[in-house]
Amino acid sequence: MPSMIVLNAKRTRKLPGVRSPKPVEARARRAIDSLMAPMLADVAARLAGLDSMTRIADVILALREAQDVWERVFAWKAEGLAGRWALDVDVIAKEKLGRAVGKVLGIDMALILDSPDVAVSVRLASMEAAGLIRKIPTDYIGRVSHAVYQSMRHQPFPEGRTLAEEIRLIGGFAEERARVIARDQTSKMNTNINQIRQTALGIQEYIWRTSEDSRVVGAPGGKYPQGNTMHGNHYVRNGKLFRWDEPPDDGHPGWPIQCRCVALGVVDRSQLREVAQVGKWSGPQTGWRLV
């Protein structure tokens, strides 16, 4: 269970939070959008002229063909996209944590040591993101096909929507899903990489810090006053001390879906391990292309 903060000011210092890098999230979102755009256009073209029952069977067959095509395309491109995405998070997280530790300790620390576990974390993060990207055409075209079937059976859509309106709504869901993937996976990558680097340095504890606004889950009178199993009550965790090896039920800051919280690592000088500088950071990879 988390405890209230009790820090020895002579021995411990609080690191600034290493927040999820928004520029990387934005680039990932644009890359996923650019991958989705031709798929959305292809599906729209296959649905063109769907104005009679005699055409529905042909359209359903065309959608099945489209799903096969786009599942292969996404499978081919997802791994490279996600790999560059995770590496970009790693580079920026490394620089931010190195700067933060250097400032707290009063030394020039250009680079945090690279534990072998970091490379494993980056690889696992890219695999998870790639898996989510690969599911996009299956989810989107599958839902469109289901809507066409529903129309063929003369089953009404919610709120009296027409088939065309239902398909537009499904497209909107797909675009929103891409936004969530970009934000959520960037946050998870950032949290995992920082956890590994902090614990490798001997930093075992952190202070939970929320965004301290009305969107914080659990905030009285806020937008989301109730926590749940996927995203606990983070309002009550603000300012409390946690250990990296004892995560809450829904994970460390940044791990629960859409979590904007950060972990402020607590540096205990008596436990901090020696850090060997092995190189110089050359800046984030601002020019990578995902597709």
The pLDDT assigned to 267 comes to 81
Mean per-residue pLDDT of the chain: 83
> Looking at this protein, which amino acid is placed at residue 47?
L
Angle at 61 between CA 60 and CA 65, to 5 degrees: 115
Rounded to 5 degrees, what are φ and ψ at 187?
-65, -45
Pairing of strands 3-4, 240-243: antiparallel
Pairing of strands 12-14, 205-209: unpaired
Q: What is the pLDDT of residues 28-85, one digit of tens each?
A: 999 999 999 999 999 999 888 666 555 777 888 899 999 999 999 999 999 999 999 9
Rounded to 5 degrees, what are φ and ψ at 277?
-85, 125
% of the chain at pLDDT higher than 70: 81
CA pair distance 184, 182, nearest whole angstrom: 6
- For residue 56, CA distances in Å to 43, 52, 75, 176 come to 14, 7, 28, 27
The pLDDT assigned to 58 comes to 83
Look up residue 161 and give its two tokens.
């929507």
In sign, the C-alpha dihedral spanning 170, 172, 175, 181 is negative
Least confident of 25-29, 74-78, 95-99, 138-142: 95-99
Q: What is the pLDDT of residues 154-195, one digit of tens each?
A: 899 999 999 889 999 999 999 999 999 999 999 999 999 889
Q: What residues does 14 pair with on adjacent strands? A: 266
- Name the E strands within 231-280: 240-243, 262-268
Does the pLDDT value for residue 282 go beyond 60?
A: no
Look up residue 224 and give its two tokens.
């989301």
Return the C-alpha torsion angle 46, 48, 52, 56, nearest 10: 10
pLDDT-based confidence at 229, cuts 50/70/90?
A: confident
Least confident of 49-53, 67-71, 137-141, 255-259: 49-53
Least confident of 88-92, 191-195, 281-285: 281-285
